[in-house]
Amino acid sequence: MKTQVQPIPLTPTVAGSETRLIKSAALVTFRFVRATLNAAKTVPGIVGQAASDVRDAWEESSRPNA
């Protein structure tokens, strides 16, 4: 009886389409995270402007109508 020796890969091989799917999903996720962080940077400015507007309205409401 003759035996044939075949090497067994120790790391699983990933098909090209699966690699691209993972890369595409990671790219979309990272872009979303970066966009969210950039949007979060504008929040303090918006809150500061809103606080300033409320303060101005409060001061104007204390003045008598002219």
Domain-by-domain residue ranges, the chain?
26-61
| pTM for the structure as a whole | 0.48
pLDDT confidence of residue 13: 66
H or E stretch covering 59: helix 16-62
Q: Report the alpha-carbon distance of residue 33 to residue 40 in Å, rounded.
A: 10
pLDDT per residue over 18-40, tens digit each? 778 888 999 999 999 999 999 88
Amino acid at 28: V
